Structure 1
Amino acid sequence: MKTNKPVELRKGLIASSLFLAACFLFNLSLLLLQAGPSRGETAEGQSRDFVVNPYIQLGNNPSLMTREKLDLVWFSLDPDGPWQVRYNKRAIEPRETRRVGMMAGHPFFKHVATLDGLLPGNQVVYEVTRKGRTVYTGSTTARKSRDQDFSFAVFGDTGAGSFGQRKVAFQCFQKKPNLLVIPGDLVYDRGRVSEFLSRFFPILNSARAGLNTGAPLMASTLTMAVLGNHDVANCDYRGTDLNRYPDALGYFIFFEQPLNGPVRIANSRNSTPLSGSAENQLDFIKAAGKNFPATANYSFDYGNSHWLILDANGYMNWNDNQMLDYVRKDLKKSKAVWKFVSFHQPSFSVDRVHFTEQRMRLLCDIFEKEGVTAVFSGHAHNYQRSYPLKFAPNRNKTDGKAIMNADGTVDGELSLDQKFDGQTNCSPRGVIYIISGAGGAALYARADAPPEAQRFNKVFKGDCHSFTYCSVKGKQLRFTQVSEDGDELDSFSVTKGSQP
Structure 2
Amino acid sequence: MSRYRNLFPVVVLLLALLIPAASAAIVWGPYVTNTTGDSAMVTWKTTDEGPGWVEYAPEGGEVCRVTSSGEGSMHRVLLTGLLPATTYRYRVGTGDEMMGDCRFRTFGDQTFTCIIYGDTRGQKPFFTQAERHGLVAERIAEEEDILFVVHTGDFVCDESEWDEFFAVAGPVLRNTTLVPVAGNHDGSAEAFSAIFGLPPYYSFDAGNLHVTILDSNDRAWADMETQTAWLEEDLASPLPRKVVAFHHPPFSSDRKRPGGDLAIRAEWCDILSRSGVDAVFSAHTHAYERYQAGGTEYFVVGCGGAPLYPLAGEKTGGHQVSHEGTLGYVRATVSPKSIVMEMVAVAEVTEEGEVTMYPAGTVIDTVCLPQDTAPPENVAAGWWGAPAALLSVAMLFRLRR
TM-score, normalization by structure 1: 0.61
- How far 1:378 sits from its partner (Å)? 0.2
Mapping 1:41-440, distance limit 5 Å: 49-58=25-34, 64-65=36-37, 68-80=38-50, 83-87=53-57, 88-99=61-72, 109-130=73-94, 135-145=98-108, 148-160=110-122, 161-176=129-144, 177-188=146-157, 190=158, 192=159, 194-198=160-164, 200-205=165-170, 216-232=171-187, 250-257=191-198, 295-317=199-221, 320-332=224-236, 334-356=237-259, 357-362=261-266, 363-387=268-292, 389-390=293-294, 430-440=295-305
The 1:319/1:255 distance shift into structure 2, 3 A limit, reads closer
- Does the 8 A contact of 1:94 with 1:114 survive in 2? no
- How far 1:224 sits from its partner (Å)? 1.0
The residue that corresponds to 1:460 in the other structure is: 322
SS at match of 2:197: coil
Partner Cα separation in structure 1 for residue 210 and residue 296 of structure 2: 15
- Does the 8 A contact of 1:471 with 1:477 survive in 2? yes
Q: Deviations over 1:410-452 (max 9, x none)?
A: xxxxxxxxxxxxxxxxxxxx00000010000011111254x5x
What are structure 1's unaligned runs of at least 5 residues?
1-46, 100-108, 206-215, 233-239, 241-247, 258-294, 391-429
- How far 1:130 sits from its partner (Å)? 4.7
Identify which of structures 1 and 2 has the higher relative contact order when contacts are C-alpha pairs closer than 8 Å and 6+ apart.
1
Letter matched to residue 45 of structure 2:
F
1:471 corresponds to 2:336: no
SS at match of 2:76: strand
Query: Identity of counterpart residues, as a percentage?
Result: 28
SS at match of 2:341: strand
The 1:354/1:140 distance shift into structure 2, 3 A limit, reads farther
- How far 1:122 sits from its partner (Å)? 1.8
Coordinate RMSD, CA, aligned? 2.5
SS at match of 1:89: coil
Partner Cα separation in structure 2 for residue 223 and residue 84 of structure 1: 18
- How far 1:354 sits from its partner (Å)? 2.5
- How far 1:374 sits from its partner (Å)? 0.4
The residue that corresponds to 2:367 in the other structure is: 492
- How far 1:321 sits from its partner (Å)? 3.7
The 1:51/1:315 distance shift into structure 2, 3 A limit, reads closer
SS at match of 1:172: helix
- How far 1:84 sits from its partner (Å)? 4.4
- How far 1:110 sits from its partner (Å)? 1.0
Partner Cα separation in structure 2 for residue 431 and residue 331 of structure 1: 14
Partner Cα separation in structure 2 for residue 459 and residue 82 of structure 1: 48
Partner Cα separation in structure 1 for residue 162 and residue 52 of structure 2: 27
- How far 1:148 sits from its partner (Å)? 2.4
SS at match of 2:331: strand
Letter matched to residue 312 of structure 2:
A
- How far 1:463 sits from its partner (Å)? 1.9
- How far 1:167 sits from its partner (Å)? 1.0
Letter matched to residue 41 of structure 2:
D
Partner Cα separation in structure 2 for residue 345 and residue 130 of structure 1: 38
Partner Cα separation in structure 1 for residue 342 and residue 222 of structure 2: 31
Partner Cα separation in structure 1 for residue 318 and residue 287 of structure 2: 16
- How far 1:496 sits from its partner (Å)? 8.1
Partner Cα separation in structure 1 for residue 223 and residue 52 of structure 2: 50
The residue that corresponds to 1:264 in the other structure is: none
The 1:442/1:249 distance shift into structure 2, 3 A limit, reads farther
SS at match of 1:316: helix
- Does the 8 A contact of 1:296 with 1:311 survive in 2? yes
- Does the 8 A contact of 1:342 with 1:376 survive in 2? yes
Q: Deviations over 1:308-340 (max 9, x none)?
A: 1111112333995433321111101x1112111
The residue that corresponds to 1:292 in the other structure is: none
State which structure, 1 or 2, has the greater radius of gyration over its C-alpha atoms. 2
The 1:351/1:130 distance shift into structure 2, 3 A limit, reads closer
- How far 1:228 sits from its partner (Å)? 1.1
Partner Cα separation in structure 2 for residue 129 and residue 75 of structure 1: 10
Letter matched to residue 167 of structure 2:
P
Partner Cα separation in structure 2 for residue 113 and residue 51 of structure 1: 17
Partner Cα separation in structure 2 for residue 317 and residue 82 of structure 1: 38
The residue that corresponds to 2:311 in the other structure is: 446
